[in-house]
Structure 1
Amino acid sequence: MTTRIPGFTTRRLTAGGTDLHVAIGGAGPPLLLLHGFPQTHLTWRAVAPALAESYTVICPDLPGYGDSGPPGEGVEHYSKRAMTATFAELMTTLGHQRFAVAGHDRGGLVAFRMGLDHADRVTHTAVLDVLPAVDVFGALAGAGGVFAFHLSFLAHPEPLPERMIGADPAVFFGHFLDGWTKVTGALPAEVRSEYLRTLSEPSVIHAICQDYRAGVCFDLEHDKQDKALGRRLPMPVLALWQDPGEAPLPFDPAALWRSWAPSVTTKALACGHFLPEERPEEVIAALRELLG
């Protein structure tokens, strides 16, 4: 097992004033893959090599996550609109004016925002196991919020979350890495250790908290404004999520994504939250179908 994506090279590139750690491989039309919480670009390690047979695949660590530097100190730098601008600049730097984007979890929120704010550049959008901020905060009210406590906890003003997580990062982040995984063997020890390596850094803990604070302070308002204006994703969209099994979700992901995307394909996969790691072959097939 390697903690690098097989066949990919890593580079350090600056975009939007952020020092980004980026893995790149393959040749063909460009595809930007964005990871989620609490991971790094390695979440795509089983998906990216297969897609690199037909596409130029770009896998960065989100600003402040993994080995990417922070975008700035203020919470506003962690809004999905700001991250979207950073990744749009990254793709320009790499010579790609038009490209497809797929994101899981927090990366899915960036992909969603990119599809709205840079619709002239995005050819296809895929979102994995995530809902826009305006929808998720409404959907997880009441008892549902207990199971997504991190959304509010991480968004609390500093330094409370940072200090509490910093007391034992392995226990805090391990709770999600282990508890959100349903497929045995999907998260090998080497990869789990690599995630925890960066997650133990105070700067990364702070960046993750800033990301979630931005979700409440900025992303929620941006989504509300777009919803009120009737803005939609004009390109073909794929929305995948985990099949909840016998415990039904307190919302309808397909219906929510149809409200944002006139041309959307939706599907539930039998796994936990980490779709690219738990069901890579199905994710590969779905992305290939989307991209044509």
Structure 2
Amino acid sequence: MSDIPGFTQSFIETNGVRLSVHQGGEGPPLICLHGYPQNHMCWVKIAPDLARDFHVIIPDLRGYGDSDAPPDDADHHVYSKREMAKDIIGIMDFMGLERAHILGHDRGARVTYRLALDHPERVDRLGIIEVVPTADFWASWNAELALKAYHWTFLAQPAPVPERMIAADPVAYYDWTLSSWTHCRSLAPFEGAGLDSYRRQASDPARVHAMCADYRAGATIDRALDEADRLAGNKIAAPLHFVWASAGFPAKTGDPKAIWQAWCDLPVTGEEIHGTGHFAMEEVPEAILTTVRPHFVAG
């Protein structure tokens, strides 16, 4: 069973980890990748609708939800987006999928574009929600963005400093994080079962460590991988649709769509969504469906 209506849950062992995967619907495969500090439940308001047109596959990234949360290594390779992308390739191999559409939000969007750069032959179309590439985001920092995205530096501090600080009241910390990134500044957009799952995750020290490790990788190996690709002139070959919130993080980087265009061979499509914060799939699900469905149906 799954806590997403009409979906089932299974577990797949690949790339040295056991991953929880929720799936439902029939049609071309569409893999949806969640972000921080969430899990598969961030898609609960749009997944059943997408399942009318697609075989929707929703993994919990390593370290999140019901997937394994291995300890980090000194170089943060374990939680690099390259390694997480290999997890998704492993799921595709297990399911016998040569190619798939991929839609990612937040950290999942970083896995999405890393997969497209590292494994272009496995990707049909990409959807990116609420991020610009890691190296570009770091390069965009000013005082305003540093205050808004303080968690990038806080969570990336050496273990166990952030883990111990979060452990003082983990549910309160993550409730505040969720609510402060919404347009309404409250927990109202989050489904009861989804919020419960985020809180359970926040109360698990292994998963808090994994989430911090995710950001340690972002500050080090992920940033270095982006810079290496930029230096080599590597670009994303798949059609990319980019959606960002007027009150979200990419909006503070200047021209986020132009940033993505510099990474893509084909013209980037997309739009800015108003009336939402960072968690657009839960805050304005109909708007997200309206903008992403045509992109993937066209493929």
Shorter-chain-normalised TM-score: which range?
over 0.9
Deviations 1:12-65 (A, max 9, x none): 111111111110101111111000010010000111111111111100111011
Residue pair 1:236, 1:263 contacting (<8 A) in 2 also: yes
Deviation at 1:162, TM superposition (A): 0.6
1:111-190, aligned counterparts within 5 Å? 111-183=112-184, 185-190=188-193
Residue pair 1:17, 1:71 contacting (<8 A) in 2 also: no
Q: Mind listing any 5+ residue stretches in structure 2 that lack a counterpart?
A: none
- Of 252-261 and 155-164, deviating more is 252-261
Q: Does 1:279 align with 2:287?
A: no
Deviation at 1:155, TM superposition (A): 0.4
Deviations 1:112-156 (A, max 9, x none): 101111111100011100111101101123332111110011000
Q: Residue 265 of structure 1 corresponds to which residue in structure 2?
A: 269
Q: Mind listing any 5+ residue stretches in structure 1 that lack a counterpart?
A: none
| Aligned equivalents of 2:58, 2:191: Cα separation in 1 | 20
Residue pair 1:234, 1:263 contacting (<8 A) in 2 also: no
Give the 3 Å change call, closer, same or farther, for CA 165–3 of structure 1 in structure 2.
Answer: farther
**Number of residue pairs matched?**
289
Q: Does 1:221 align with 2:224?
A: yes
% of aligned pairs identical? Answer: 38
TM-score for both structures, normalised by structure 2: 0.93
Deviation at 1:3, TM superposition (A): 7.9
| Aligned equivalents of 1:221, 1:110: Cα separation in 2 | 15
Q: Residue 48 of structure 2 corresponds to which residue in structure 1?
A: 49
Q: Residue 230 of structure 1 corresponds to which residue in structure 2?
A: 233
Give the 3 Å change call, closer, same or farther, for CA 47–176 of structure 1 in structure 2.
Answer: same
Q: Secondary structure at the match of 1:186?
A: coil
| Aligned equivalents of 1:81, 1:144: Cα separation in 2 | 26
| Over 6 Å off, 4+ runs | none
Q: Residue 31 of structure 2 corresponds to which residue in structure 1?
A: 32
Give the 3 Å change call, closer, same or farther, for CA 71–238 of structure 1 in structure 2.
Answer: farther
Q: Does 1:202 align with 2:201?
A: no
Q: Does 1:83 align with 2:88?
A: no
| Aligned equivalents of 1:188, 1:116: Cα separation in 2 | 34
Give the 3 Å change call, closer, same or farther, for CA 3–149 of structure 1 in structure 2.
Answer: farther
